[in-house]
Amino acid sequence: MTDVLDPPVQLPPPPPSHEMLEEHGHDEHHGPTGILKWITTTDHKIIGLSYTVTSVIMMIIGGAFAEIIRAQLASPNGTLVSLSQYNELFTMHGSVMIYLFVGPFAFGGLANIMVPIQIGAPDMAYPRLNALSYWLYLTGAITMLSGFFTAGGAANFGWVAYAPLSNSVNTPGSGADLWIGGLLLTGFSAIFTGVNICATVFYLRAPGMTMFRMPIFTWNMLVTGILILLAFPVLTAGLIMLYCDRHFGTHIFSVQGGGVPVLWQHIFWFWGHPEVYILALPFFGMATEIIAVFSRKPVFGYKGMVFATLTIAALSLGVWAHHMFTTGVVLLPFFSIMSLLIAVPTGIKIFNWIGTMWRGEIWFSTAMLMAIGFLITFLIGGLTGIYLASPPLDFFTHDTYFVVAHFHSVVMALLMAAMGGLYYWGPKITGYLLNERIGKMQFWFLFIGTQIFTFPLYVLGLEGMPRRVAIYPHDPQWKTLNDWSTFGAILIGISTILFVVNVAVSWKKYPSGDNPWDAQTLEWFTTSPPPHHNFYRLPQIRSERPTWDHNHPEHRSLTHGKHPELTEDGLEKVHSS
């Protein structure tokens, strides 16, 4: 353990009653074991781990598609794949990454494991619904990917499935139907998880865990859950309409029957833009936790952070048409100002992260490096997003590689935060650390690879290269920039391989102990991995950092520069009204 942890952290001994309670027989469950246990479990930790592993496998599949796409674009007349195979590949790359990796990894994986433990709950509010969520997700993922094994190939209309390209005339194959079906299933799994997270946060908080003492990650997951409940049913309804258009002749999105094609875009983006924040907010939360812990400071501007999250969520419901500026049928100024305003709460978050690091004692573990990499990459993605909120600049760059580069900066930042989350919380989930040396190598490949990957794409977009083209024979000088981008994608691929290698190399090798990072929030108070119902005992919860307060009672947060009032036994005085 000492070879991976430097500097070593001095912590007080764990509370004495742990062993006593373990003998008490509280943890004795004579249930099934092995694969039967995995199939029948309702334990949020096992379900969350299943989610995490499945979604990381999805990331590897989606990443493989991306590498094929980049290899195809490495020459102007690429012949690696055919035009229709290329359409399938980018459609499924986007679908797998957005629908099957980033979201499920966050709200099905890490949030499912961490939210109940962070608020001192024994499990999610609806454990069986939670299990149903996972099985719906797995079924949906298999359904969507099985399109590749049909005669017509997988869905090939882009991950946004714009009508009328997605109707039965233009896309007749069953791959498209499997895509719709798979998305319906994963959509329901997301809705159920959203219900579960909201109910858990509202009803299962431990005594003392008030709303403003919840860790930022839990706060962000609560807001994500609310956004899921507002946005996903709209997508589900839209998908059912699309399916009816394809098979039952309803003509909701077709001009011939009196329908409106743009309606699909409204429905899709009314889900799609909140979805951007459904994807991003969990990772903002992860980065917040990591930066605070490894700077050895409380989250700077905690309440401002919460209000920034709520503001982002509120604004995100009113900006969907900035994806539709070039349709010419939306009110430009309204959606422009709403989109620009999102920069304000996002900026607050960035400054709060810097404020958390300021005058801290920063420990550059892999998790912290990933969080800082997230911060820089997200800054680039955020700043280029501001251009796209301005309609004239959006007309200029819409559907070019500039947009592709913008959202890849954003999602690659999220990937860094996700990796940070795995390095940070992995020991809590498994009881074992990952190798830090390989982890740091992974970080540098990922960070540098991402910048080499995205920067040429920005320039290509400004030079006029449209997205979703398999070949660019008329402008062969774009090859150089495309080659750089492909090189960056290869570096990112190597970083993913390093992660898999790290998991294999570190398998049960470096026992972590309960709190290897001297972390602050409640999940680090229990054992690693936590017992069946998460806690044998809870500390006094008098701030958003109960574990820190327990370990360092003399270093409590200076609320507005002042020490909180303490009682004679060193606890914060509670004013009951």
Distance between CA atoms of residues 140 and 486, nearest Å: 30
Residue 79 and residue 148 in contact, taking contact as beta carbons nearer than 8 Å: no
Of the pair 112, 485, the CB lying nearest another protein is at: 485
> Phi/psi at 214 (nearest 5 deg)?
-75, 145
Query: Least CB distance from residue 469 to another protein, whole Å?
Result: 4
CB of 391 to another protein, least distance (A): 5
Place of tokens 């003509």: 251
Q: Which is nearer to another protein, 17 or 77 (CB)?
A: 77
CA distance linking residue 528 with residue 514, whole number of Å: 5
Token digits for 1? 């353990």
Taking CA atoms, 144 is separated from 72, 87, 162, 186, 234, in Å, by 23, 15, 17, 10, 20
Q: How far is the CB of 164 from another protein (least distance, A)?
A: 5
432: number of Cβ within 10 Å: 17
Q: Which residues pair with 510 in a beta bridge?
A: 433
Q: Considering beta carbons, is residue 52 or 288 the nearer one to another protein?
A: 288
CB of 8 vs another protein, minimal distance in Å? 8
* Cβ proximity of 318 and 253 under 8 Å: no
Q: Which pair of structure tokens corresponds to residue 196?
A: 């579960």
Q: Report, in Å, the least distance between residue 54 CB and another protein.
A: 29
In whole angstroms, the minimum distance from the beta carbon of 343 to another protein comes to: 6
What minimum distance in Å lies between the beta carbon of 22 and another protein? 30
Smallest separation (angstroms) from another protein to the CB of 225 = 26
Nearer to another protein, 335 or 499 (CB): 335
237 vs 182: CA distance, rounded Å: 14
- Min dist CB 159 to another protein, Å, is 10
Given the complex with another protein, which of 131 and 338 has the nearer CB atom? 338
132 vs 348 by CB, closer to another protein: 348
Whole-number Å distance between alpha carbons of 246 and 235: 16
Whole-number Cα distances in Å, 169 to 95, 161, 251, 551: 22, 14, 12, 65
Find out whether 269 and 323 touch, Cβ atoms under 8 Å: yes
Closer of 354 and 500 to another protein (Cβ)? 354
**Which CB, 77 or 210, lies closer to another protein?**
77
Nearer to another protein, 230 or 340 (CB): 340
Is the Cβ of residue 199 or residue 376 nearer to another protein in the bound state?
376
Q: For residue 157, which amino acid is it?
A: F
- How far apart are CB 57 and another protein at their closest, in Å? 27
Q: How many CA atoms lie within 13 A of 439 on its CB side?
A: 24
The answer to whether 288 touches 299, Cβ cutoff 8 Å, is yes
CB nearer to another protein: give 55 or 485: 485
- Distances 219 to 58, 223, 326, 514 between C-alpha atoms, Å: 27, 6, 35, 24
**3 state SS of 214:** coil
Q: Which residues of 355-370 are buried (b: 16+ CB within 10 A; e: fewer)?
A: bbbeebeebebbbbbb
Cis peptide leading into residue 32 (ω within 30°)? no
Q: How far is the CB of 439 from another protein (least distance, A)?
A: 17
Q: Which helix (H) or strand (E) holds 183?
A: helix 174-203
Counted residue by residue, the chain has a size of: 577
Cα–Cα distance measured from residue 266 to residue 139, given in angstroms and rounded to the nearest whole number: 28
